Structure 1
Amino acid sequence: MDQRGPVIQGALLRRRLAELRRQRDLTQDEVAKALGWHTSKVIRIEGGRTGVTKVDLDALLRLYRTADSAVAEELHQLNKGARTKAWWNDFKNDVSDAYLSYVGFEAGASVIRQFQPLAVPGLLQTRAYAETIAHTRTDRATHERVVQLRLLRQEMLRQRENAPREIFVLDEAVIRRRVGIRVDRSIMPDQLRHMVAVAQEGEHVSIRVVPFEAGSHVGMIRGSFTLLEFGDGLGEVLHRENSDLHETLIGGDSLISEVRTDFEAILEESLSPSDSLSLITRAADEMR
């Protein structure tokens, strides 16, 4: 089974088809004219707004003069993989398609970088914390399913042969807010101790905290975001979300480089990994 999953394989397929077109010095209009298609069809295929049938893929490969090559076999395998059902498809009626697309990218990333100014990252949340957060944003019908998806994301990443490197940078406000205090005073200190335990279990997870003493920083303006890296030439993926937005950008979008620069700037303002864990531990102890 390909560990990259259908979302990443589909993105790789589209990227390589666009590269082949450019190598042949063809525009999308010229491809459409040569194949008797509307230009919008080529745009939808390369943009990921429609799947690629085997017949259409064969037609493109013939036009790009790669139909009988190892490249063609690779692209057919990617297309086959892109059509497989993923574990997150079980949640398609519970969350948006845009969010599930992000989950698909996250599932196959080699590096995950995330900044959170207000809440504990989903990949670090305990069930109790996740339930508290989900309860404030979803109705009862979808509450449990959202929590299940969040916890399953954690589990599936842990089961991967090559675990991704995960770097989380949190504003100190994240560890000071007593989430769940009206329900159970132990929810937040337990959450903080869980984060420390996760970071201490292995070298692949790093948690950094930007202390209040650092003053203002660019993350206060940028807001929460996640940057994903891949080891197969896909490039970086940027995901941003709030209550009204789920946005995933792929490849050469200029915003990705801007956000990467901002992440490094925020990282410079943060405490070292060991000092960050010490601060989180002290915060948990003060909540007793």
Structure 2
Amino acid sequence: MVPRLLLGARLRALREARGILPEHAGYAIRASHSKISRIELGRVRFKERDVADLLTLYGVIDPSERAPLLELARQTNAPSWWQRYGDVVPGWYEAYLGMEEAASSLRTYELQLVPSLLQTGDYARAVIRLRHPFASEEEVERRVQVRAIRQRRVAFEEPFTGGDRPKLWAVLDEAILHRPFRDRTMMRAQIQHLIEMADSPGVGLRILPLGAGGYPAAGSFTLLRFDDPDLPEVVYLEQIASANYLDRPDDVELYTRVWDECTAASRPDKTTQLLRRLLRDI
């Protein structure tokens, strides 16, 4: 997925440097302007012919400049681990999985449920059955496997940047942990898991307490940041059967400000204490 993101970002930079509109770029490869947007966001596979035509349109003629970009185009079609789960991973979600792995940090705010990267197996099964009430046991287990793989590859990996910062930052509304959900045993295990994750060097966890009062987050969201300077920060907004990806600087700035206000209202030194109190009260 990283080659796809990199190539998309570089094609976008080349197009904007030449002052070419997405509509004109789309015409050059016999496609719509919306496909150009998906290409530049790394959300679709690349055809080498399309990349070659775009490079020509953008004035990249020198073979030494074209070669590395065309090689990136070939790399974008390499298989990803989630393709083995194509029956339970929808196409609109594949782009996020790639971004999630490529990101140097993820900052997620959750209003309704424990974030999927921090769920226990039983909690994940309960959430999946809630969202897919007619799914077979085999399908449920395959969806649980996808979450478990994501957790191993993202939430449980070693911290980056020299081991001094976590990759995953999460703020959970305390109401999530008070809401009746299946049974007490499952919720106790989930809260115990959050306590363990709060002590993990790869996770920065905070609970936004009920007494925090009003704050500007109207729904759940995830901010993804990448090390490569060519890749813009992205806001991921998941819906029931689709998702939105925002990368306009104004949008990213807005959600970053909301994130900062949510973290300011949640004290990290109180998170484990609050979780232990909740565990005792269940």
TM-score, structure 2 normalization: 0.85
Output one character per residue of 1:211-259: Cα deviation in whole Å (capped at 9) or x when no partner.
111123222xx111111111112111111224x3532314226433222
| 2:177 alignment partner in structure 1 | 175
The alignment status of 1:273 with 2:268, answered yes or no, reads yes
Give the 3 Å change call, closer, same or farther, for CA 50–214 of structure 1 in structure 2.
closer
Aligned residues with identical type, % of pairs: 28
Aligned match for 1:230, one of 209, 226, 244: 226
Q: Give the AA of the match of 1:193.
A: Q
Runs of 5+ in structure 2 lacking a partner?
A: none
| 1:197 alignment partner in structure 2 | 196
Q: Give the AA of the match of 1:68.
A: D
Q: Give the AA of the match of 1:210.
A: L
Q: Give the AA of the match of 1:217.
A: Y
Runs of 5+ in structure 1 lacking a partner?
A: 1-5
Aligned match for 2:245, one of 243, 249, 255: 249
Shift of 1:187: 1.1
Query: 3-state SS of the aligned residue for 2:46?
Result: coil
Q: Contact 1:237 / 1:248 at 8 angstroms: preserved in 2?
A: no
Give the 3 Å change call, closer, same or farther, for CA 216–46 of structure 1 in structure 2.
closer
Question: How large is the Cα RMSD of the aligned pairs?
Answer: 2.5
| 2:145 alignment partner in structure 1 | 148
Tell me how far apart the structure 2 counterparts of residues 70 and 180 of structure 1 sit (CA, whole Å): 60
Q: Give the AA of the match of 2:145.
A: Q
Give the 3 Å change call, closer, same or farther, for CA 191–18 of structure 1 in structure 2.
same
Aligned residues: 270
Q: Contact 1:98 / 1:248 at 8 angstroms: preserved in 2?
A: no
Give the 3 Å change call, closer, same or farther, for CA 126–55 of structure 1 in structure 2.
same
Output one character per residue of 1:162-211: Cα deviation in whole Å (capped at 9) or x when no partner.
48621111111122234321xxx321111111111122121x31111111
Shift of 1:125: 0.5
1:1-288 matches, within 5 Å, as 6=1, 8-28=2-22, 37-38=29-30, 40-41=31-32, 44-48=35-39, 51-68=45-62, 71-138=65-132, 139-141=134-136, 142-157=139-154, 158-159=156-157, 162=160, 165-181=167-183, 185-202=184-201, 204-219=202-217, 222-232=218-228, 233-242=230-239, 244-252=240-248, 254-270=250-266, 272-287=267-282
Give the 3 Å change call, closer, same or farther, for CA 51–269 of structure 1 in structure 2.
same
